Amino acid sequence: MEGHTSSITELAIVVVAALCCGLVMRYFRQPILLGYILAGAALGPSGFGFVENRDQVQLLAELGVLMLLFFIGMELQLRGLKSVWRIAVLTTAFQIAAGVIAMSLLGFYLDWPIALTVVLGFVVALSSTAIAIKMLEEIGEKGTRVGNVTIGILIAQDLAVIPMMLVVSAFHGEGSAITLQDVAKIGLSIAFLALLLVYLGRGRRLRLPFAKTIGRNADLTPLAGLAFCFGAAALSGLLDLSASYGAFLAGLVIGNSTSRRAMMHYTAPIQGVLLMVFFLTIGLLIDLQYIWDNIGIVVLIVTFVAILKTALNIVVIRVMGETWPRAFLSGVMLAQLGEFSFILAALGLTVGVISPDEHRLLVAVTVLSLMGSPFWLEAARRLHRIALLGITSGRETLRLTLGPEASALGRSGGRIGGWALLLARLLVGHKTVAPRERRSQDGGEPSQPSPANVLQAKPGGAEAD
């Protein structure tokens, strides 16, 4: 009884901490998932130590991964991808190829096995859907051409995750090679997924066999969704494929059926809880002492990855026909690593491709990359403003880089309070509404204002979860 009470106490602490950190992130207009990661880091073995046994939440975290892929499949709008499919698919293919090639060159110098370079290339290529969409909402670009291109690329990346997971699962340890049987299995899985996407992309709505019986019953609908998700995942596992592959296919089928809206509505709360556990588990994996002991190399890798991904994304999107301002914004939005980077790293650790130390490094780099994304966007936009306007004066550079914060500092007379106000505004940002942009008659594309007006717009707008 005493042990049972202790477990309930730990559960209460975890839930309250996740809620508090989520509220803090919402107040600062940051993605709530970052709050869950921070809660896990604070409660884990390297924090206050309230949760010392990570295995207690490992099963729920694995269920969270399945639900994440299940919901991505349900939310996937293939019709919305049609207008930007070319740029989305080609950009994603280039990102993956560039990531693998870059890691292969580094691995050749450091004598890494091929399996490790492939996994690292996959991890680096992906971006965070949740973070990128949140930033698009904050700067008012979600419904514009920039938003459509960025979201299209993110959708293409989500689709590419499934083949990536199949490839990583096919590795059987450090230095191992993929057999012909593995190649055939991966090829058939990708071919089946491609055929299903083509079929569903025609706009046909499937009618599930249980849809008429269940209807919109609040009790049976979420249960049917979970049964479909975990049943498909189990069947995929029995066929020696990734369980995530089956969960994604289940979501894809339901998302293109007549039951889509009801299923998403009734299973959303379950998804929210399981995803909270998933990101909380990521926080539990963070080794704060390891980050502190290796802070130099971690920050160096995060910065290098952000710069490299931003530059490559801008160039590729520009080559695909977008204007430089649009390519710049989309490229910066996709600079961070993604949620699936954690999953691929964990999968690499499970099959023996990645060592525990390498896994800790990847977790640290991915977490810092996610948390630094809003600041990277703001810094990049302000520096881009300076480059566009050709500023040479130091005072003018300071004014354009810091914007209103420089005026606040000037009024304070340079005292400590003024510097504190400046730092707070740089870190938190203003809670102002971004100016509305005029829309053209073709529906959704903003008119072309001057570079200074575009880049001076601060992130703002209505809060979104």
Do 441 and 338 fall within a single domain?
no
Structure tokens at 362: 């990847």
Q: Are 76 and 198 members of one domain?
A: yes
Paired tokens of 86: 């070319």
Query: Domain range for residue 420?
Result: 380-456
Same structural domain, 447 and 392:
yes
DSSP state of 449: -
> What are 176's two structure tokens?
């191992």
Helix (H/G/I), strand (E/B), else coil: 439: strand
Residue 17, domain member (yes or no): no
CA distance 387 to 422: 23
Per-residue pLDDT of the chain (465 residues; tens, 9 = 90+): 555 566 788 788 888 999 999 999 888 877 888 899 999 889 888 888 887 666 666 777 788 888 888 988 887 777 667 778 889 999 999 999 999 999 999 888 888 888 899 999 999 999 988 888 878 877 788 778 888 899 889 988 988 998 999 889 888 665 556 777 778 888 888 899 888 888 887 777 888 877 777 777 778 888 888 899 999 999 998 888 888 889 999 999 998 888 888 888 888 888 888 888 888 888 888 888 889 999 999 999 999 999 999 999 999 999 988 888 889 989 999 999 988 999 899 899 988 889 999 999 999 999 999 888 878 877 777 766 666 665 445 555 455 555 554 454 455 444 444 444 444 444 444 443 443 443 443 444 443 333 333 333 333 343 444
Using the 3D structure, point to which of 371, 402, 419 is the last residue of a domain. 371
For residue 86, give every residue at least 6 positions away whose Cβ sits within 8 Å of its Cβ, in sequence order, or none.
320
93 lies in some domain: yes
pTM for this model (two decimals) = 0.76
**Domain identity same for 194 and 243:** yes
Task: Judge if 283 and 410 occupy the same domain.
Answer: no
Domain count along the chain? 2
Residues 120/342, Cβ–Cβ less than 8 Å:
no
Domain boundary among 350, 371, 392: 371
Do 182 and 310 fall within a single domain? yes
Kindly state the tokens that stand for 173.
């340890």
Residues 338 and 385 in one domain: no
Whether 96 and 341 have beta carbons less than 8 Å apart is answered as no
